[in-house]
């Protein structure tokens, strides 16, 4: 069971890297296309008609990919005031139940998104240079998002049950803690560098003041 969960988590990490790379690409496309639109509109007086539509579609895809990635990194908002008061085993069982409810919601949304694709595919993009069905930018990213989230939630359910049964740590939680420790270490290092720079500037100012006094 432990090896299965470990391999499952490695697969999710691979999917997360792909989602992160696609998110960066989409956001970069938005920035570049809008910049080109500003240049062509205000410098040449010939705006590109397809930029706004392209940027909107990239924004939609980035939102849904970001939601799936955020779940893998456990970044979604959770209120644990009640759960934190429980013992370790009941906490794991409670979280497993919560993930199961979220997974059921993902299944319902995925079915609805799949059904609506046929309807949305009948309409086409309005201004893009390539004529494409609009479901590629509405129901499709929603479906991809909830499927990715469903895989993550299924892992989280199994991992929390394994934690309740045998005390095996949840890989996603371990990864989150490692990221937080790394971020805290970077912040501490940045603060130390800033303090050294301030101390150095004060020492230089004091030295210059002493030279002027002499």
pLDDT score for 42: 86
Q: What is the pTM of this model?
A: 0.81
- The pLDDT of residue 130 is 84
- pLDDT value at residue 207: 66
CB environment 58-94: b (16+ within 10 A), e (fewer): bebbbebbbbbbbbbebeeeeeeeeeeeeeeeebbbb
pLDDT score of 214: 57
pLDDT, residue 128, reads 84
Which residues lie closer than 8 Å to 67 by C-beta, 6 or more apart? 145, 149
Which H/E stretch holds residue 3? helix 2-42
Helix, strand counts (H, E) of the chain? 5, 0
Q: Are 103 and 157 in contact (CB under 8 A)?
A: yes
Per-residue pLDDT tens for 105-155?
999 999 999 999 988 888 888 888 888 898 999 999 999 999 999 999 999
Q: What is the pLDDT along the chain (214 residues), one digit of tens a residue?
A: 678 888 889 999 999 999 999 999 999 999 999 999 999 888 888 888 888 899 999 999 999 999 999 999 988 888 888 888 888 888 889 999 999 999 999 999 999 999 999 888 888 888 888 888 989 999 999 999 999 999 999 999 999 998 888 878 888 888 878 877 887 888 788 878 878 877 777 666 666 666 665 5
For the chain, state the CA radius of gyration: 25
Q: What is the pLDDT of residue 205?
A: 65
Question: 74's torsion region: left (phi>0), alpha (psi -120 to 50) or beta?
Answer: left
Q: What is the pLDDT of residue 146?
A: 95
d(CA 141, CA 76): 19
Alpha-carbon span 87 to 56, nearest angstrom: 46
Rounded Cα distance, 73 and 172, in Å? 7
- The pLDDT of residue 114 is 93
CB 51 within 8 A of CB 33: yes
Rounded Cα distance, 132 and 54, in Å: 12
Residue entry with tokens 């849904």: 64
User: Both tokens of residue 73?
Assistant: 């990194």
């Amino acid at each position: 069971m432990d090896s299965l969960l470990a391999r499952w988590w490695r697969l999710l990490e691979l999917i997360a890297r792909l989602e992160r790379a696609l998110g960066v690409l989409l956001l970069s496309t938005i920035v570049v296309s809008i910049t080109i639109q500003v240049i062509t509109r205000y410098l040449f007086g010939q705006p590109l008609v397809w930029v706004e539509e392209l940027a909107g579609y990239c924004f939609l895809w980035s939102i849904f990919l970001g939601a799936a990635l955020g779940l893998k990194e456990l970044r979604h908002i959770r209120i644990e005031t009640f759960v934190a008061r429980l013992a370790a085993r009941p906490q794991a069982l409670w979280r497993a139940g919560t993930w199961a409810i979220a997974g059921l919601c993902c299944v319902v949304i995925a079915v609805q998104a799949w059904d609506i694709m046929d309807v949305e595919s009948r309409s086409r993009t309005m201004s893009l240079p390539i004529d494409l069905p609009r479901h590629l930018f509405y129901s499709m990213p929603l479906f991809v998002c909830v499927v990715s989230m469903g895989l993550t939630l299924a892992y989280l359910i199994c991992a929390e049950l394994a934690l309740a049964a045998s005390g095996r740590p949840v890989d996603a939680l371990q990864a989150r803690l490692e990221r937080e420790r790394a971020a805290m270490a970077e912040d501490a290092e940045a603060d130390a560098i800033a303090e050294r720079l301030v101390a150095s500037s004060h020492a230089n100012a004091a030295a210059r003041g002493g030279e002027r006094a002499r």
